[in-house]
Amino acid sequence: MAIHMDTKQLSLMFRLAETLHFGKAAEIENIAQSGLSAQIAKLENELGFKVFERTNRRVSLSDAGERFIEQAHLMMVSLEGTIAECRAIAEQSRHTFTVGFFGDGAGELTHTIFSRFRQANPDIRLIVTELTMTNQVQSLVSGSVDATFMRLPVDDSRLEYEVMFDEPRVAAVPTAHPLASASHLNIEQLLDKPFAVAGEGAPSDWASYWSLRSDSVDPCHVGAFVKSIPESLAAIAYQGAFDTYPLSAARMFQHPGVRYIPLQDATRSELALVTVKGNRSPAVLALKECVRKSLQEDISCLFGAHRR
């Protein structure tokens, strides 16, 4: 009997085996829960056995499913290694390398890093593309970009994170609000405020962090759903929303309707260079080297940043 399955179906099955929760697996994979259930059922039907045992309260692997997941995972690791190797070969032949960034990228270091990369790798055509809050992870996983500068927290086992530096966070406050006159703020003062929240598709831990929900068990009061810095700024200035930014972004994105105020008790924002796990292409390694040199020589341009 011929079995027709694709890597996407296997990826969904691996994710469900990892979480043993349809809702969590669907959220991580950015798919509707009904769609995930349908894909799993379709694959199980083709296989001829149940990979998962389902009850009203829990999901677990069947004995056959546990063996299948183990062997299929080994097969996928081998396949992904081969694909990464072939992509590196193809990349060398086409001489292109795409780097994504969101917001302020790597702050004032962005220009230094890219300039250093171009000078050191004249044979590689560097393509830089702007990402949104909602497509950062998917752009990497799909291969639309080869690497990206990404603000953490983002917890995805498909990705590798090389933390570059951390820096303070500030509150982004409407200039018309009474809090805009404060010299500093703390988290407690903002928990009841409406926030500009990352829209659907953004990792839930990432969205919670910037709306201060990682510091509270209460749900966020949504002032607006946004996917970019300009949308966030507009929501703050014209809809009365609040947000938090890394300090470097506050320097780069000035707006007459927004005031940035230090947050005394907020955790520091970490910035990482992120790639798909196992990507060891020459261009990725070259970019990492440029990042290391820039951090060694130019970190002082980022006020309040600590190299990691």
Strand partners, 170: 245, 262
H or E segment to which residue 59 belongs: strand 59-61
- Distance, in Å, from the CA atom of 194 to the CA atom of 190, rounded to the nearest integer, reads 8
Q: What pLDDT does 92 receive?
A: 61
Whether 156 contacts 203, CB under 8 Å? yes
CB burial of residue 257 (10 Å; 0-12, 13-18, 19+)? middle
CATH number for the domain whose boundaries are 7-86: 1.10.10.10
> Encoding tokens for residue 222?
């949504």
166-186: pLDDT as tens digits: 999 999 999 999 999 999 999
Question: Is domain 169-262 classified as CATH 3.40.190.290?
Answer: yes
Name the superfamily (CATH) of residues 95-160+273-303: Periplasmic binding protein-like II (3.40.190.10)
Average pLDDT, integer, range 31-56: 88
Cα angle 222-224-225, degrees, rounded to a multiple of 5: 100
> Encoding tokens for residue 30?
């950015």
Cα angle 196-200-203, degrees, rounded to a multiple of 5: 90
Query: What are the residues whose beta carbons fall under 8 Å from the beta carbon of 206, sequence distance 6 or more?
Result: 133, 151, 152, 153, 154, 198
Residue intervals in the chain for CATH 3.40.190.290: 169-262
Give the distance between the most distant pair of CA atoms in the chain.
71
Higher pLDDT, 262 or 70: 262
Q: What pLDDT does 215 receive?
A: 59
Q: What is the pTM of this model?
A: 0.68
Residue intervals in the chain for CATH 3.40.190.10: 95-160+273-303
Q: What pLDDT does 2 receive?
A: 55
> Encoding tokens for residue 73?
């995972």
Residue intervals in the chain for CATH 1.10.10.10: 7-86
- Distance, in Å, from the CA atom of 275 to the CA atom of 156, rounded to the nearest integer, reads 11
For the chain, what is the mean pLDDT? 89
Whether 214 contacts 205, CB under 8 Å? yes
Predicted confidence band of residue 58 (pLDDT cuts 50, 70, 90): confident
Average pLDDT, integer, range 284-297: 93
Whether 269 contacts 124, CB under 8 Å? no
**Would you say residue 264 has pLDDT above 70?**
yes
* Three-state SS sequence of 98-160: EEEECCCCCCCHHHHHHHHHHHHCCCCEEEEEECCCCCHHHHHHHCCCCEEEEECCCCCCCEE
Give the alpha-carbon dihedral of 294, 298, 300, 302, to 10 degrees.
-60
67-116: pLDDT as tens digits: 988 888 888 878 877 887 777 766 665 578 999 999 889 888 999 999 99
127-142: pLDDT as tens digits: 999 999 999 999 999 9
